[in-house]
Structure 1
Amino acid sequence: MGSESRKTVSRYTTKTEKGSHSFEISGYSLAKGMGVGRFIRSSTFAVGGYHWAIRLYPDGVTEAFKDYVTAYLELMSKDAEVRASYDLSLLNQDTGSPVTVSSESTPRVFKSSDTSRFGPQGGYSILRSELELDESCYVLDNYLTIECDVTVVKQSRVRDSPAEYQVEVPPSDLSDHFGKLLLDEDGADVTFSVGRQTFRAHKIVLAARSPVFRAELYGQMKERTAPSITIRDMQPSIFRALLHFVYTDSLPDMEDLDHDEYSEITRHLLVAADRYAMDRLKLMCQNILCQYMDADSVAATLALADQHNCDGLKDACIQFMATSDEMDAVVETQGFADLKRACPSVLVDVLEKRSKFGKA
């Protein structure tokens, strides 16, 4: 009997995750003079499951570097050790293009417990006079922007695999199946009356997605035994969008809507998400409203954020109003009048932050 030969294969797999962050310093001239060794830091941003920040010393790290501006990338996660590479750059305010000033293209170990948490470890330093040259366009209209791209090396592993066969696995279609379940109403066991429209749904799905629905449908509330539940103070289109998210974890297609219609529906959907304690939907709505923010809408959005405890959206609105050159247009809106009447304390935050940026 002849001998058999069998070929095997092992594969070493390394994955990376990339992310970037822009640190905008508005009122750059006000940051100067804070003192040697004092720094300002960007908000933290997540890449590869770790938190990072950009640190800037406007007056230098030490006396020897008092004529320099120094910047670092900093690993902020506690008790962390991670391999990563990065690219630190200054934005040319005239062209909008980043200019690399420091980078490490080969991944190295960052440890939160020692100075290796910084990149570069000695910091990137540039003469203040060179940074502020009109020809460099790094500082324009009192703005300075530092950008950083970070690439984190994820956990590597070796696995055995057959040499000759592979089975391709398609992406998850769970949301498609649940979306079809909602449309077909197969096995639906609860009815909602919204305006003049009715919606059929499944108690177990609603309860799994929302603690409020769970209390209404399986708790001691009267809705548990009611043949039909009436939803007040909500438009049918908003409840339909809410159900779509419940079943698919995504927003319905709204590409045919214009800017104002899309923003208005998102506002109502944020209120619905807050009402039913659906945190991810609430955050998604906040993110959309941040992207669609302008002078006409910012005051109304700020009032909405304050009313529904949307801290991220609230901070974004205050930042917009504190740094905007269109404050006169903001003040003329009905949203500002409503904000002044309903949430006067919020305007104090706006005025305090605006004064820091030297806006009149």
Structure 2
Amino acid sequence: MTFTGESVYSGGKLLSAASPIINAGADRGYHLLVVDGHSRTNKFFWSLPFIIGGQHWRIYYDPHVDGSLVTLQLCLIIGTIDLVKAHFEFSFVEENDEQERARIHDGSEIFEFRGRFSHHTKVLKKETWEKFIRDDRFTIRCDVMVLAQGATTRISSFIAVPPSDMQQNFMDLLLSGDGTDVVFRVGGETFTAHKCVLAARSAFFRAQLFGPMKEGTASTNTILQINDMHAEVFSMMLRFIYGDSLPAPPVDENEGVLLQHLLVAADRYDLRRLRAMCEDKLCDYIDISSVATILSLADQHSCDGLKKACYHFVDCPANLRAFVETEEFDHLQRSCPRITKEIILNMLPSPSLIQ
């Protein structure tokens, strides 16, 4: 049985260990929990962490407020596998002779610890521990034996699981053109894609390509013409569908303008994550010259967060003064007086703040 160290709680705090508490290999071990100043201990605490059987453990100690009970727990804080089976036993020990122990409970039972912070509890009555107190101090020993769990427990720490490369796999599939079965003609350019990928990512494409619509009934490669979208915007949208991240705009293109068009496309094709990403990114492009356009766009496509960002920008008196002097504000006032009214109302203080 390997000794994994001791945790000493004294003076209202847990004292640091003199040396690291490590037991990387043994399946059996024990840890000592020393409570110094028991009568003055009125709050719960955790022991220092210790390792037995490749698992990280802690002991939880909670003296009840009325002093009649004490709760002890053995807690699995980090496990290398989902299910850990172990025997454990709490006992009182005399510090002068650790071999003479008074068992708190029988350690023959097999306990299952499932996942992080899984624990098992023992509640002690006052008469159980008070006879072991010496100078307001006592020591509890926790013995743990982790049962063999197969090869997983032993080799998991030596296996490096690589990060997911699924997004790159899909992007490679798109760029290679292998297995494509739908062709888009947009702004004089041609794009090929896979119906099943589009349908999985967008309810609009699912209905268009596999629903009762004309395009869904074709048995050969489907050709779709899109007349109201820039090729650069469609290319960015297609790369998002396959890569699930906001793609970089083409070189020398106005990213702010492209993001506005991309938001419209995302709303049209029911790509909610892309729409939210565009909405979030456009907040960085709000300025005197663009706030009217972005505010109008946010209003048309129900982008409440983007609208609030615009209102927050014009909430500054200097920004509002500069904004109302622009032609963009005059156009907004003529085309959508409701928005200019909302700007004014947003500037007014809340009635609850008026004394």
Which bin holds the TM-score, normalised by the shorter protein? 0.5 to 0.7
Percent identity for Structure 1 against Structure 2: 43
After TM superposition, where is structure 1 displaced by more than 4 Å over at least 4 residues in a row?
157-160, 255-258
Q: Which amino acid aligns with 2:248?
A: D
Q: Comparing both chains, which one has the higher relative contact order based on Cα–Cα distances under 8 Å and sequence gaps of 6 or more?
A: 1
For residues 189 and 248 of structure 1, what CA distance do their matches in structure 2 show?
A: 19
- Relative to structure 1, the CA distance from residue 343 to residue 248 in structure 2 (aligned partners, 3 Å threshold; closer, same or farther) is same
User: Which of 326, 330, 337 does residue 319 from structure 2 map onto?
Assistant: 326
Residue-by-residue CA offset, 1:60-88 (whole Å, 9 max, x unaligned) = xxxxxxxxxxxxxxxxxxxxxxxxxxxxx
Separation in 2, partners of 1:13, 1:265: 53
Does structure 1 residue 308 correspond to structure 2 residue 301?
yes
**Is 1:224 matched with 2:213?**
no
Q: Tell me if the contact between 1:182 and 1:201 (Cα under 8 Å) persists in the aligned partners.
A: yes
Correspondence for 2:21: none
Offset, 1:324: 4.3
Is 2:55 the partner of 1:11?
Answer: yes
Pick closer, same or farther for the CA change 1:166–1:269 going to 2, 3 Å.
same
Shift of 1:11: 2.5
> What letter is aligned with 1:230?
Q
Shift of 1:225: 3.9
User: What RMSD in Å do the two structures reach over aligned CA positions?
Assistant: 2.8
CA distance in 2, matches of 1:234, 1:303: 19
Change in 2 beyond 3 A, CA 1:231/1:249: same
Per the alignment, residue 175 of structure 1 pairs with 167
The answer to whether 1:195 aligns with 2:190 is no
Note the 1:3-152 alignment, pairs <5 A.
Answer: 7-8=26-27, 9-12=53-56
Distance 1:221 1:239 in 2: 21
Q: Distance in 2 between matches of 1:263 and 1:300?
A: 11
1:318 is displaced (CA, Å) by 1.5
* TM-score, structure 2 as length reference: 0.55
Q: Is the 8 A contact 2:246 2:277 kept in 1?
A: no
Structure 1 pair 164/286, CA: closer, same or farther in 2 (3 Å)? closer
Gaps of 5+ in 1: 1-5, 15-153
Looking at CA atoms only, which structure, 1 or 2, has the larger radius of gyration?
2
**1:296–1:329 CA contact under 8 A, matched in 2:** no
2:200 counterpart of 1:208: yes
Aligned equivalents of 1:303 and 1:185: distance in 2? 38
CA shift for structure 1 position 349: 1.3
Amino acid at match of 1:352: L
- Measured in 1, the distance between the counterparts of 2:250 and 2:232 equals 15
Deviation at 1:315, TM superposition (A): 1.4
Using the TM superposition, give the Cα deviation of residue 156 of structure 1 relative to its aligned residue in structure 2, in angstroms: 3.7
Do the aligned partners of 2:288 and 2:322 also contact (CA within 8 Å) in 1? Answer: yes
- Distance in 2, Cα, partners of 1:355 & 1:292: 25
Which residue number corresponds to residue 284 of structure 1? 277
Deviations 1:299-340 (A, max 9, x none): 110000001111111111112212341223212334323322
Cα shift at 1:157: 5.5
Alpha-carbon distance in 1 for matches of 2:177, 2:156 = 44
CA distance in 1, matches of 2:336, 2:284: 23
The answer to whether the 8 A contact 2:249-2:258 is kept is: no
Structure-2 change in CA distance of 1:13 and 1:304 (3 Å): farther
TM-superposed deviation, 1:256 = 4.8
| CA–CA separation in structure 2 for the residues paired with 1:297 and 1:281 | 21
* Aligned equivalent of 1:106: none
Letter in 2 for 1:271: V
Alignment partner of 1:168: what SS? coil
Q: For 1:229, what is the secondary structure of its paired residue?
A: strand
Question: Is the 1:300–1:336 Cα contact (8 Å) retained in structure 2?
Answer: no
Which residue pairs with 2:48 in the alignment?
Answer: none
Which residue of the partner structure matches residue 240 of structure 1?
Answer: 235
The answer to whether the 8 Å contact 2:170/2:243 transfers is: yes
Find the counterpart in structure 1 of residue 110 from structure 2.
none
Q: Is the 8 A contact 1:330 1:336 kept in 2?
A: yes
Q: After TM superposition, give the deviation of residue 216 of structure 1 in Å.
A: 0.4
Are the structure 2 counterparts of residues 196 and 322 from structure 1 closer, same or farther at C-alpha, using a change threshold of 3 Å?
same
**CA offset digits 1:34-92 (Å, max 9, x no partner):** xxxxxxxxxxxxxxxxxxxxxxxxxxxxxxxxxxxxxxxxxxxxxxxxxxxxxxxxxxx
Q: Which residue of 1 aligns with 2:154?
A: 162
Counterpart CA distance in 1 for 2:296 and 2:164 is 39
